[in-house]
Structure 1
């Protein structure tokens, strides 16, 4: 539609020039030739003023930007040009120019522009488009060009107040109970000797061997909890991810954490939260041993219960539901209670 309007304007300019030319030739008087010369000069100035190419405009911005879903992000862009002049110049993020910034008699000077963006969706967005347009002052001739900024925008999950509350609660629990605790590790097994504590007896192995067998333990290294986000796809996936993201920001920096999705990823940079995708088939997880695993999940199901049973054999497991407001009391293994191996 815009292109058709521009073509229509040019056609009208040409028709007007042809009519004035015919009038001057037919009547051959001073008035006719005066109008012809004035209109021809106006047309020539209009064409020359819109002649500079938009390709001369240089765009510069940071290679990586971070924003958060549900908030307004300001995209900074630097523009400049050499041997460039336009009576009317506009830079916009949208083709309808709703977010455009206009300049009159722009001659290529360096400008710092800022474009507000409402980030509605989490994800990674490559090379956002920028629309350059320019022409004469009267809008008779207008040209435009769409350019791609050499930048990547990472949109992180929404801020979640419930997630912050969970984070503060977890932080308090870590401070009081878990954080920095030294756990015993099993060194081996041997037969029971007089004077050994019965607490060291492994009753399952003793029953199989039909003799008392005890566990020999050694003091392990001081360990820190490992956070796991159970990223199963479902209607509550984005809410759970936003809640977990807000929760983990309340914990000490450097707390090890893994996102269990299509791939199992150790969180080393925030951009993983923008790119993270959930799983439909349970992924293969690392083999953790003698660790404190804090598992955050949307809802309990058979797949998660199976993984918890597997982890419980060699680790202490604590489960935190991210969606349920009031934890169920039907299972003592859930809802922030410890499960010992």
Structure 2
């Protein structure tokens, strides 16, 4: 601010000095200097008032959904409505809050001169999972001579999601060799027309004899008959997002839990199993089992946004939401906790006929001998009550194929 005031004082002082010199000296040369300084003064005024009054700033992203580790290309365009020679612009595009301290804000020095439109691109590399917002763009500008300098903050809004990385599982089976409590029927050779209980959206692999032509003719897409004895695989992922479950000294523990959840959901989607997702962060998030590309994006959108900030105990969420699931649905629980409350809820669900599979996320620290002994007893107790337990110890994605028993 001090430099800006000093520049203005210099311009005004130059005009006053040349005027006083012309009044006392007289002659062509002195008045020529005065009128030249007036032209210079008018130019500085125009630069000052037109610097941002005619400026439009636009920001574009090359995509708004990325995978963990990808980079996003940001394009910033400066456009002026009128032609006028400006000296320079410094553009500072501020980073999202989660990236402050990881990367420096991008700074770009531009010399627009006589151009009405200027644009530049930059990349934000190696993005971690999350939901990001690009908001403010700070632009400074000045004249050719360095007397005038102004700054303005442009309020822009651009958002993008970074999905978690996941491992492509070769196989994922329960103890009896099936994914869920019911058996997936891939091919059917006879259908009892009297057993039709409804219709559903057509999925790849359905035979022509199963298509409900009357419902399809209504213009809402192909519909497939659902029979009373038709069986399908259904599964629901319960992700622990309670803040107390993840110690501050192991920040990657939650990211490991999210990657495991993403790997299981990607496997279910690829094999055309109906899958759902449940967590409770600031608000309840619950997706019923379904199978579609839009459903896949909705679930992964939540996996990109979710953070370990939940206040409600995970055992309470598990007990409430688990009982609401239909019989035959496999409940997949992803959590690093094995306290009494969580173990009792898992056992209670198993005793009520629910098929439960636990993915126990283990940190790098081994813990005290007492904690290790209690954890071992809890795992044996769960196994005795028909809760299949799978420990996850490594952050190396290549070892996750063991989730499927490969």
TM-score (norm 2): 0.59
Contact 2:15-2:37 within 8 A present in 1 as well? yes
Residues 240 and 297 in structure 1, CA contact (< 8 A), matched pair in contact too: no
SS in 1 for 2:267: coil
Structure 1 CA distance, aligned partners of 2:353 and 2:238? Answer: 16
Q: Does 1:336 align with 2:346?
A: no
Which of the numbers 322, 328, 331 marks the counterpart of 1:293?
331
Q: Deviations over 1:87-138 (max 9, x none)?
A: 23444314998422514225433x5543433687765445611223333222
Contact 2:61 2:72 in 1 (8 A): no
What are the within-5 Å matches in structure 2 for residues 198-209 of structure 1? none
Residue 105 in structure 1 maps to residue 113 in structure 2: yes
Give the direction of change, closer, same or farther, for the CA distance of 1:69–1:39 in structure 2 (3 Å limit).
farther
- For 1:266, the equivalent position in structure 2 comes to 287
Q: Which residue of 2 aligns with 1:6?
A: 4
**Residues 68 and 163, structure 2, Cα contact 8 Å, conserved in 1:** yes
Tell me which residue corresponds to 2:73: 74
Does residue 1:315 correspond to 2:354, yes or no? yes
- Mind listing any 5+ residue stretches in structure 2 that lack a counterpart? 96-103, 185-227, 289-294, 367-371, 392-402
Aligned partner of residue 264 in structure 1, secondary structure: strand
- 1:247 matched to 2:263: yes
| CA–CA distance in structure 2, aligned partners of residues 24 and 37 of structure 1 | 10
* Matched-pair contact (CA < 8 Å) for 2:181–2:330: no
**Corresponding residue number in structure 2 for 1:47:** 45
Deviation for aligned residue 1:12: 1.9
Which runs of 5 or more residues in structure 1 are unaligned? Answer: 185-217
- Are 1:153 and 2:160 matched, yes or no? yes
Maintained 8 Å contact 2:135/2:155: yes
Q: Would the aligned equivalents of 1:69 and 1:156 in 2 still touch at CA under 8 Å?
A: yes
Supply the RMSD in Å over aligned alpha carbons.
4.0
Q: Secondary structure at the match of 1:168?
A: coil
Give SS of 1:243's match: helix
Pair 1:224 & 2:224 matched: no
TM-score by length of 1: 0.68
Residue 18 of structure 2 contacts residue 30 of structure 2 at CA under 8 Å; is this kept in 1? Answer: yes
Query: SS at the partner of 1:320?
Result: strand
Task: Classify 1:41/1:97 alpha carbon distance in 2 versus 1 (closer, same or farther; 3 Å).
Answer: farther
2:169 corresponds to which residue? 168
Q: How many residues align?
A: 295
Verify: 1:276 aligned to 2:334, yes or no.
no
**Residue 84 of structure 1: CA displacement?**
4.3
Partner of 1:92: 92
Any idea what SS the aligned residue of 1:260 has?
strand
Q: Which residue in 2 is equivalent to 1:131?
A: 138
Residues 62 and 17 of structure 1, relative CA distance in 2, 3 Å threshold: same
